[in-house]
Chain A
Amino acid sequence: MPASVLFNSFAFLIFLPIFLLFYWATRGRVRLWVMLLSSIVFYAWWDWRFVFLLLFSSVVDYSLGILLENQQNDATRKRLIVLSVAVNLGLLGFFKYFNFFADSAARISQSLGLHVSYNALKIVLPVGISFYVFKTMSYTIDVYRRAEKAERDLLKFTTFVVFFPELVAGPIVRASRMIPQLKHDHSFDYERMVSGLTLIMAGYVRKVAIADSIAPLVDVRFAHPEAHSTLSLLLGVYLYAFQIYCDFSGYSNIAIGLARVLGFDFGVNFDRPYFSRGFSEFWTRWHISLSSWLRDYLYVSLGGNRGGAWRTYRNLMLTMLLGGLWHGANWTFVAWGALHGGYLVAQRWIGPWYQRAIRAVRVPALVSHAFLVLLVFHLTCFAWIFFRSPSFSVAWQVLSGITHVHGSLLDIDNRWRILKCVLLIAALCAIEAATFLPKRRKAVIAVEPGEQVTVSAHAPQFSTAQRLAFCAACAWVLLLFGTFSGINFIYFQF
């Protein structure tokens, strides 16, 4: 992977102050140009050639948005939206899935006795393509549905697409949220700066201190599962659950915090998902910007829960299968999506029976909630095995190592380094649990226009002194436990 201006890179430490200087020194359209050009530099640092792809995607959807709004003929509008979806999915399909589908087709042909020769193309996956394609696609679909007005200012539209905090790994901030915020200048605000910085520090702790400390412990277990005991493999799976959570929510926190400092509101992308008591709740807490995208543009388009139970199950399965494939060109991701689809279907099926049983035997609510949280967490961990494994054979090896009990606690190397990670995770869980208490510091955040969802605010309304203490504590944790080897963000690859 070529050098990139990642949030945890030294280059970003140089890039950010320069950007902030120009950002706060300018106003109006000049500031938009600063945002656009800085974002292009941010992206070009990785590979300048793909800037043209990014700009192409922006210009195509900008133009199609205007044509869709101007056009009154339904048939032509349909053709335009099909063109937009085709261009966007075509880009994604070629860069992300060409080799995957070609390879899969060749394997199927071989299994049918047909010998098809296939040479894999050396296609570089443009960073962030899955994110910006979804952004632009949702924009044209909204314009098509007449839920959104077309943006006629190319500068504003392109800035919306390429804005660097969310460009390479989300959150997927939709046009309906972002473009209105680009229509006026944001003056410097002390409260926003402090709360934004608090989120950024919390994000760095999650990424640099927790996720990156866990990474080598997980890598070694998934690289050679056969060399690890049952307990060691189980530990690897649990640790991965927190690695991916801290990695991605850390990135989201940094992106959302940066945007807040600049005066923008990106919403919430993770809301303590491992406290979920069901999978439908899990998907309203995990990668909220993606799950709400899949709900609004895929699940609803497929018919949603209209049309009876079986159609709902089918739509859930299809949505999650495609959601799995979105994460990467590998059947293991599809398996992960299938498992989550299965969980959602099973929940709809079994959920009412479970509730009746709980009421009948009068299980205390706290016990029932704790059981459900543990159940959901463990089933999520099971699905993570497929998500993390590079192939099905590795996933089976991990599962086989876990189910065929062998080895002992003594077989686990680096026990005290593992304990360090466990303590950091415990501290994170304690903080999340404390802010998870009901009716405590709740904030109403508009997820999408017309939809009000109450979620606990990630940065509760603490005083600036409390925030200062929190930021200082984060800095000490980073200095003492941070991993500064520049490990990539996991979602960077998607």
Chain B
Amino acid sequence: MRDARKALLWLATLLFVVMAGDRLLSWMLARVLVRSQFRYSQLYRGGTNADILIMGDSRGVNSFYAPAIEELTGKKAFNLSYNSMSPVVAEALLLDYLDRNRPPKMVIFEPTCVMVDGAVLTELRPFATLSPRLMALYQERHPDAARMEKIFHLLLLNTGFFVDALHYMRQSDQDWIMRGSLPETSEPEGKRVVPFLPGNREALQRIVTALRRRGVEVRFVIAPYYAKGIENLPQLIAGLPLDDHVRVATYDTVFHDPALFADHVHLNEKGSREFLAMLRRDGVLALPGEGMGGQRPRL
């Protein structure tokens, strides 16, 4: 009986130490997190104040290389895209961005992310404590995990994004892009299908409404595939919230050189630079009110 009492006391002490350490460590690490130069740390720290903001999934990351946009336009560009970023998740991030940073002059949205389900949300949970929007989404999709994370706060930091944030303490992650290329002998894939997953169409509509209300120019730009195009392109375009001010530019089949692609879905750095130069020539990167020499943007 004496041993059982001692064991209970030991277990209670252990639980207390674990909980106290959990709170202290998570508080300290959260401070470190927001000091990082990782894209979402910058977002939540505020003061990014970009002129051109990019949104999308991994195709957004690898097609719109922010350093190259800045070189081409002389404007500050900031890429908020990430692998598996759905419009539903992008909406929360974008609204948080607008709350904490000066609104951009233009948002370029790579819309093929309508086919992803937003798995990036689990990675974003270190930032959920800073964002009621992200937290609400996370609790809705992962209620059990969210309950555990209310008990143990360190679990919120248990993601690859936290490790990435530690890596980018001193340098920005905006130059993150795939640099390898497809073998020379690679053939383009057949036509790809880009279906709308539930909720993504409505999220896009809300994003556009929120941005237009703040006077932000919105442009949808479909980046190149190393494929024979998008089979359901008309339906994809029809599903986008377009009007006289919100246009779409399609570049899905403009490149046929495998050296420009990291794989069949993503451009590499070289491809992105060529693609952005093409956008520059077509006026797609021109901010509203900027002169295009009488040329209308290809939108």
Identify the A interface with B (CB < 8 A).
187-190, 193-194, 410-411, 414-417, 419-420, 464, 468-469, 471-472, 475-476, 479-482
CB distance from B9 to the nearest CB of A (A): 10
Kindly identify which residue among A189, A411, A482 contacts B180, using a CB–CB cutoff of 8 Å. A411
Say yes or no: A479-B154 contact (C-beta < 8 A), given A190-B3, A471-B14, A472-B14.
yes
Alpha-carbon distance between A416 and B166 when the two chains are bound, in angstroms:
9
A471 contacts across to B, CB distance below 8 A: 14, 18
**Residues A194 and B7 in contact in the complex (CB < 8 Å), given A417-B160, A468-B17:** yes
Query: CA separation between A415 and B173, bound complex, in Å?
Result: 13
Majority secondary structure of chain A interface residues (helix, strand, loop or mixed): helix
A462 to chain B, nearest CB (A): 13
A482 touches B18 (CB 8 A): no
Q: Is B267 at the interface (CB under 8 A from chain A)?
A: no
Question: Which residue of A has the minimal Cβ distance to B168?
Answer: A416
Contact A479 B22 (CB under 8 A): yes
B296: chain A residues at CB < 8 Å are none
Alpha-carbon distance A116/B166, docked complex (angstroms): 60
**Contact in complex: B180, A464 (CB < 8 Å):** no
- List 8 A-B residue pairs with CB atoms under 8 Å apart, sorted by A's residue number: A190-B4, A193-B3, A414-B160, A468-B17, A471-B14, A472-B21, A476-B21, A480-B29
Given contacts A410-B179, A416-B164, A479-B155, contact A193 B18 (CB under 8 A): no
Task: Give the contacting residue for A476; candidates B6, B25, B164, B179; CB below 8 A.
Answer: B25
Complex CA distance for A469 and B10, rounded to whole angstroms: 11
Give A191 Cβ to nearest chain B Cβ, in Å: 8
Which of B7, B14, B157 is close to A480, meaning CB atoms less than 8 Å apart?
B157
Chain A to chain B: the 3 pairs with minimum beta-carbon distance, closest first? A479-B154, A190-B3, A416-B167
- Interface majority SS on B: helix, strand, loop or mixed? helix
Q: Is the CB of B3 within 8 A of A468?
A: no
B172 part of interface (Cβ distance < 8 Å)? no
Q: Give the complex CA separation of A397 and B22 in angstroms.
A: 45
Contact B13 A468, beta carbon cutoff 8 Å:
yes
Given A411-B180, A472-B17, A479-B154, check contact A190 B164 (CB 8 Å): no
Residues 146-167 of B, flagged 1 when their CB comes within 8 A of A and 0 if not, give 0000001011011010011011
By a beta-carbon cutoff of 8 Å, the part of chain B in contact with chain A is 3-4, 6-7, 10, 13-14, 17-18, 21-22, 25, 29, 152, 154-155, 157-158, 160, 163-164, 166-167, 179-180
**Residues in A neighbouring B152, C-beta threshold 8 A:** 479
- Shortest C-beta distance, A488 to chain B (Å), equals 20
Contact of A468 among B14, B25, B160, B163 (CB under 8 A): B14
CB pair A188–B18 under 8 Å, yes or no, is no
Contact (Cβ within 8 A) B17 A188: no
A468-B14, A479-B158 known; A193+B166 contact, CB < 8 A: no
With CB as the reference atom, state the residue of chain A lying closest to B13.
A468
Q: Which of A411, A469, A475, A482 gathers the greatest number of chain B CB atoms within 10 Å?
A: A475
Q: When the two chains form the complex, which single residue of A189, A194, A481 contacts B10, counting CB atoms closer than 8 Å?
A: A194
Closest chain-B Cβ to A268's Cβ sits at a distance in Å of 24
Q: Which residues of A contact B3 (CB under 8 A)?
A: 187-190, 193
Q: Say yes or no: A480 contacts B158, CB within 8 Å.
A: yes
A193 touches B7 (CB 8 A): yes
In the bound complex, residues from chain B placing their C-beta under 8 Å from that of A479 are 22, 152, 154-155, 158
B243 to chain A: closest CB distance in Å? 40
- Pick the residue among A190, A415, A481 that contacts B7 (CB under 8 A): A190
- The answer to whether A472 and B158 touch (CB under 8 A), given A190-B6, A411-B180, is no
Q: Nearest chain A CB to B282's CB is how many angstroms away?
A: 31
How far is it, in angstroms, between the C-alpha of A414 and the C-alpha of B160 when the chains are bound? 9
> In the complex, what's the smallest C-beta–C-beta distance from A201 to chain B, in angstroms?
9
Q: Which residues of B contact A420 (CB under 8 A)?
A: 163
- For A475, what are the chain B residues with a Cβ–Cβ distance below 8 Å? 14, 18, 21-22
In the bound assembly, the distance between CA atoms of A479 and B163 in angstroms comes to 14
* Cβ–Cβ contact B163 & A190, under 8 A: no
**Residues of A contacting B6 in the complex (Cβ-Cβ under 8 angstroms):** 190
Would A480 and B154 count as touching, CB distance under 8 A? yes
How far does the alpha carbon of A476 sit from the alpha carbon of B157 in the complex, in Å?
11
Within the assembled complex, what's the spacing in Å between the Cα atoms of A187 and B7? 13
A464 in contact with B10 (CB, 8 Å): yes
Chain A nearest Cβ from B203, distance in angstroms? 27
B164 to chain A, nearest CB (A): 6
CA distance A468 to B7 in the complex (A): 11
Q: Check A472 against B18 for contact (C-beta < 8 Å).
A: yes
Judge whether B4 and A188 touch: CB under 8 Å: yes
The minimal Cβ–Cβ distance linking A260 to chain B, given in whole angstroms, is 13
Within the complex, the shortest CB–CB distance from A115 to chain B, in Å, comes to 37
| A410 vs B157: C-alpha distance when bound (angstroms) | 27
Chain A residues, CB < 8 A from B155: 479
- Which of A416, A469, A476 interacts with B154 by CB under 8 Å? A476
Contacts of A468 in B (CB 8 A): 10, 13-14, 17
Q: Which residues of A contact B158 (CB under 8 A)?
A: 479-482
Residues of A within 8 A of B4 (CB): 188, 190
Min CB–CB distance A23 → chain B (angstroms): 13
Given contacts A188-B4, A479-B152, 20 further A-B contacts (CB under 8 A): A190-B3, A190-B6, A194-B10, A411-B180, A416-B164, A417-B163, A419-B163, A464-B10, A468-B14, A468-B17, A472-B17, A475-B21, A475-B22, A476-B22, A479-B22, A479-B154, A479-B158, A480-B154, A480-B157, A482-B158
B18 cross-chain contacts in A, Cβ below 8 A: 471-472, 475-476
Distance of A417 Cα from B161 Cα, bound (Å): 9
Looking at the assembled complex, report how far the CB atom of B210 sits from the nearest CB atom of chain A, in whole angstroms: 33
Q: Which residue of A lies closest to B145 (CB)?
A: A484
Question: What chain A residues lie within 8 Å of B10 (beta carbons)?
Answer: 190, 193-194, 464, 468
Complex: how many Å from CA A189 to CA B6? 10
Question: What residue of chain B has the Cβ atom nearest to residue A193's Cβ?
Answer: B7
The residue of chain B having its C-beta at the shortest distance from the C-beta of A24 within the complex is B4
Residues on A with beta carbons closer than 8 Å to the beta carbon of B7:
188, 190, 193-194
What is the bound-complex CA distance between A358 and B25, given in angstroms? 50
When distances are taken between beta carbons in the complex, the residues of chain A under 8 Å from B21 are 472, 475-476
Instruction: Tell me the bound Cα distance from A417 to B160 in angstroms.
Output: 7
- Kindly list chain A residues whose C-beta atoms are within 8 Å of the C-beta of B160: 414, 417
Contacts of B157 in A (CB 8 A): 480
Complex alpha-carbon distance, A415 and B167, angstroms: 9
Cα-based distance from A411 to B180 in the complex (angstroms)? 7
Question: Which of B7, B152, B180 is packed against the most chain A CB atoms within 10 Å?
Answer: B7
Cβ of B14: which chain A residues have Cβ within 8 Å of it?
Answer: 468, 471-472, 475
Residues of chain A lying within 8 A (CB to CB) of residue B163: 416-417, 419-420
Chain A hits for B166, CB < 8 A: 416
Chain A residue with the shortest CB-CB distance to B1: A188
- Residues of A near B164 (CB, < 8 A) are 416
Contacts of A480 in B (CB 8 A): 25, 29, 154, 157-158
Across the interface, name the chain B residue whose C-beta is closest to A187.
B3
Max chain A CB contacts within 10 Å: which of B18, B164, B180? B18
